[in-house]
Amino acid sequence: MDRPPRAVRLFDPVARRLLRAGVPMGPNALLTVRGRRSGAPRSASVALIEIGGRRWVVSAYGETNWVRNLRSSGEAVLTVRGRPSDVNAVELTTSEAEAFFIGELLPHIRTMSLPLRMVSRIFVGEIARDPAAAARRRPVFELLPADRRGIGED
């Protein structure tokens, strides 16, 4: 598992509280997934990518616990601007993730405002340089609306 930088690990608890309260934080959202071993709800702040009415999350740090939990359960509660919604998660294959990076994500970033583009470049540098390698290291999930009740809060 790739470890997020220390600053990210220190700020994440604050980010989770702010996101749960509905404070807008750019493209960030709160993802709550049932723990694969404990069964307890676990929350992580994630970058939500919304393009053309579809939504995805990409793991900036590879095989993290939220990735393993989401892969195991296939469902989560996504909280955007304080509003939770139940979602089903479908993991993209490596070739699908590469196609997503090239065909959706990189063109989408080019349409963002300059400040957002600059911040996004920090996190998508590898994706822009080598989409195939990024697809092997960064799991991507498409989030689809779910019909049933959520798993709760952490």
Q: Are 33 and 69 in contact (CB under 8 A)?
A: yes
Q: State both tokens at 28.
A: 């960030």
Query: Closest Cα partner for 48 from 68, 31, 65, 67?
Result: 31
Per-residue pLDDT of 104-118, as tens digits, reads: 999 988 887 777 766
pLDDT digits (tens), the chain, 154 positions = 466 666 656 657 666 676 776 766 667 899 999 999 999 999 998 989 999 999 999 998 889 999 999 999 999 999 998 899 999 999 999 999 999 999 999 998 888 777 776 666 667 888 989 999 999 999 999 999 987 444 444 4
Per-residue pLDDT of 13-30, as tens digits, reads: 666 676 776 766 667 899
The CATH architecture annotation of domain 6-142 reads: Roll (2.30)
Q: What's the predicted TM-score (pTM) here?
A: 0.82
Residue where the block lists tokens 């740090």: 61
Domain spans in the chain, listed from the N-terminal domain onward:
6-142
